[in-house]
Each structure stands twice: as structure tokens, then as C-alpha cells.
């Protein structure tokens, strides 16, 4: 009989046990730890405004002339007491605008944006937040809106003039706040590149002849993020303040928008080009 072809054989290699020290296992362990931290911080965040009244250094001071805003007390409580975040001035950063009503443009990365950005503005700027957040965190949102630290709005209300008038009234009612933090990308963005900037609030700033300053911070999503389900303390965060853009210097809105876009791109590159090791060596903000 002719010789039949011999069947092909394959050699299999039994993977060496990692005993819990392999890359995949480490990733799982880290994820579980961060998820546990996130779950632990969530109730603190929900009650953070009330807790800041007890643990804040200045919140209960009776002399209003020297007392800081409740918004700053809350932001400092979350940023420093709870999360121990460290803001680091990125190379080429300007100084924060303090001498006039200002719209601060910030990158929206995570839940931590709200307290980190308010802390960065020294509590002199309130933030805009969708009313939907009030349903998720009523214990936080109700007192924050009551004292003016947060301006709640409905995203799809459609009436821009009514929204603008409400913002004007908010500034007049809560005189402790001389600025507003907005997120011009319009949504949370953790990509490596920026999204196009929405024009609505920029038109508001232009029509009211307000100052605009880009305030960019990297790695905020590492501090407290529902998207990544993580929470980390003691994170070094590069922050960059752009040059102040004065609306009265730009009669044409498109020129105003293009200057903002250029400053935005400069800030994006300034903070995202800093490594974690380099951030540790930057001066404190």
C-alpha cells in the first residue's frame, strides 16, 4: 500500500501562570480599585456642598466683606480636602483675569471639572449646568443654585434671548461672582483632539462686551470621572491661562471667534504636551 500522508501536528504552549502579576490582571486590579474609590466619592460629592459648610475654613465667617464665596468653599473642599488635587502652571501661562466680568472657557473632561474649574477661578465665577444634573444630585444642586454658584439651564430650550437675559439677571443678583465658566465644546471630550467650539455663549460674550479667557487643564478625568468610573487623589494637573481677549477690540464676531479658537488651540497644546513626570516639576498655581 502506498504510504499515507502523516497528519500534521501542532505544538501548543501552556501559558505560564502569572499568579496575579500579569498585565491583564494588573489592569483589572487597578480598575477595581478605581471603581471602589469612585463609588466611595460619589456620596461625598452628592453632599459636598453641605459638607463644605462644616469643613470649609471661611464659609461660616460672619463678616461678608472678608468671607469667600460659598462656591469657592465648596470647590476648595472637593479639590483640596477630598481629592488633594494639585494645579500646576503650564509653560507660557498668563495670569487669571480678575479685574472685569469674564467668560472663562474650559475643556469639559469629567465631573471633576466643576469643582476644579471653580477653584481655579478662585470662586469668582459660577458654572453653567444642565438642569438634568439637579435630578441626579439634588442635595448638591439645590443649595449650589440657591447661592448662585451654579446656573441651571435646559439644553434644548431654544430661546437664546431668554437665556441671555437670565444670565444677565444672575450676574446682577449674585454680585460676588464676576465671571462664568462655560464648556464651549458642548459635551464631555476625553479625546486627544479638541472638538469644534459652539458659538452660542461666545455670541453672548461678544454682545455684552465681556472679556474671554481660555482656561485649559489636562488630566481632569483622572480625578473624578463617571465616564471612566475612576477617582484618584493627589493628581498633578497642568493648567494654562491664555491671554485675555476683550470683546470690544473685535467689532466683527468672526474675528472674535477666530481669535478665541487660536487661543483655545494654544492652550490645548500647552497642557496636553506636558507629561506626568514634567507636571510634577511645574510651579504650583
The DSSP line for the chain is -PPPPPPP-----PPPP-TT-SHHHHHHHHHHHHHHHHHHHHHHHHTHHHHHHHH-SSTT-S-TTTPPPHHHHHHHIIIIIIS--EEEEPTT--PPP-SS-EEEEE---STTHHHHHHHHTTT-EEEEEETHHHHH-HHHHHHHHHTTSEEEE-TT---HHHHHHHHHHHHHH-TT--EEEE-TTSS---SSSPPPPPSHHHHHHHHTT-EEEEEEES-GGGTEETTTTEE-SS-EEEEEEPPPEEGGG-SSHHHHHHHHHHHHHHHHHHHHT--HHHHHHSPB-
**Distance of alpha carbon 195 from alpha carbon 285, whole angstroms:** 27
**Distance of alpha carbon 237 from alpha carbon 219, whole angstroms:** 6
Residue 211 CA, chain-centre distance (Å), reads: 20
Beta bridge partners of 214: 105
Q: Give yes or no for a contact between 130 and 155, defined as CB atoms under 8 angstroms apart.
A: yes
Write down the pLDDT at residue 200: 93
**Distance of alpha carbon 94 from alpha carbon 202, whole angstroms:** 21
Confidence (pTM) = 0.85
Across the chain, which has 285 residues, the per-10-residue mean pLDDT values are: 45 43 54 90 93 71 58 94 97 96 97 96 92 82 91 77 94 94 94 94 97 98 95 97 98 98 98 96 97
Write down the pLDDT at residue 30: 76
Write down the pLDDT at residue 79: 97
Q: For residue 126, which of 179, 73, 69, 187 has the smallest C-alpha distance?
A: 179
Beta bridge partners of 213: 104
Q: Give yes or no for a contact between 212 and 102, defined as CB atoms under 8 angstroms apart.
A: yes
Amino acid at each position: 500500500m502506498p504510504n499515507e500522508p502523516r497528519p500534521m501536528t501542532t505544538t501548543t504552549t501552556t501559558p505560564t501562570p502569572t499568579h496575579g502579576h500579569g498585565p491583564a490582571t494588573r489592569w483589572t486590579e487597578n480598575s477595581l480599585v478605581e471603581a471602589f474609590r469612585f463609588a466611595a466619592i460619589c456620596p461625598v460629592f452628592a453632599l459636598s456642598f453641605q459638607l463644605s459648610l462644616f469643613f470649609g475654613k471661611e464659609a461660616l465667617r460672619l463678616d461678608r466683606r472678608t468671607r469667600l464665596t460659598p462656591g469657592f468653599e465648596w470647590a476648595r473642599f472637593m479639590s483640596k480636602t477630598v481629592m488633594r488635587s494639585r494645579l500646576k502652571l503650564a509653560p507660557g501661562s498668563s495670569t487669571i483675569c480678575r479685574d472685569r466680568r469674564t467668560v472663562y472657557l474650559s475643556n469639559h473632561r469629567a465631573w471633576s471639572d466643576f469643582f476644579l474649574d471653580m477653584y481655579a477661578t478662585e470662586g469668582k465665577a459660577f458654572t453653567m449646568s444642565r438642569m438634568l444634573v439637579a435630578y441626579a444630585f439634588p442635595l448638591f444642586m439645590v443649595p449650589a443654585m440657591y447661592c448662585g454658584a451654579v446656573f441651571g439651564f435646559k439644553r434644548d430650550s431654544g430661546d437664546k434671548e431668554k437665556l441671555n437675559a437670565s444670565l444677565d439677571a444672575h450676574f446682577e443678583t449674585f454680585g460676588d461672582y464676576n465671571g462664568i465658566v462655560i464648556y464651549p465644546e458642548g459635551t464631555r471630550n476625553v479625546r486627544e483632539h479638541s472638538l469644534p467650539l459652539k458659538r452660542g455663549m461666545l455670541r453672548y460674550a461678544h454682545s455684552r462686551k465681556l472679556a474671554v479667557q481660555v482656561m485649559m487643564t489636562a488630566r481632569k478625568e483622572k480625578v473624578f470621572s463617571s465616564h471612566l468610573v475612576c477617582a484618584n487623589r493627589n493628581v498633578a494637573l497642568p493648567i494654562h491661562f491664555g491671554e485675555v481677549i476683550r470683546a470690544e477690540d473685535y467689532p466683527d464676531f468672526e474675528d472674535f471667534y477666530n481669535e478665541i479658537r487660536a487661543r483655545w488651540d494654544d492652550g490645548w497644546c500647552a497642557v496636553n504636551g506636558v507629561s506626568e513626570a514634567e507636571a510634577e516639576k511645574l510651579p504650583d498655581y
